[in-house]
Amino acid sequence: MASTKDVRFKLRAGIEFLSVEGRSPKEINQWFKLSYGEACVYYSTVCRWVSSLKGGDPTESILRDQKRLGRPLIASNVANQKTVDSMILGNRRIKQKDNAKELEISKERVQHVTTDILGYRKVSARWAPRMLTDEMKMQRKTTCAKLLKHYEE
């Protein structure tokens, strides 16, 4: 299956071609809805792309998105994931805002990395992995057996 970027590139190229042929944005949008179905862009997007192409030389237009200045779109990269993981393992009571301040990324991104990517959750004000290791299970079993023995005595 083609990625969203690939489909959008194809649509943009098709819009450029059909607008140079003199088709209206409404015709272009109807044609794309028949061809691409749900993957088609909105009518307003077609209008915006057609209007940006009008009056210009078709050989000069750039179809790919250009690099933009500013913050990178993805702050949850592998380096930040490893750093957050090591910070949590070093201090289980660390706050997300402390992680965010250290890494200079948003708290929302730290939350995403911590819970969705690394699989941690808060348990009694501590970060704990969601899945127990075999060692943790054995330790819990031993502790429960000791408590049961103590209760029976």
- Tens place of pLDDT per residue across the chain (153 aa): 456 667 777 777 887 888 778 888 888 888 888 877 777 788 888 888 788 777 666 566 666 666 667 665 577 788 888 999 999 888 888 888 898 898 888 888 888 888 888 888 877 667 777 777 889 899 999 999 999 999 999
Residues 42 and 84 grouped into a single domain: no
* Residue 65 belongs to a domain: no
pTM here?
A: 0.39
What 3-state DSSP class applies to 130?
Answer: coil
Residues 15 and 48 grouped into a single domain: yes
pLDDT at 143: 95
pLDDT at 77: 83
Give the 3-state secondary structure of 51-102: HHHCCCCCCCCCCCCCCCCCCCCCCCCHHHHHHHHHHHHHCCCCCHHHHHHH
* Residue 59 belongs to a domain: no
* Residue 144 belongs to a domain: no
* Residue 139 belongs to a domain: no
pLDDT at 3: 63
Q: Specify the pairing of strand 120-123 against strand 126-129.
A: antiparallel
Q: What is the token pair recorded at 52?
A: 């940006």
Q: Which domain holds residue 10?
A: 4-53
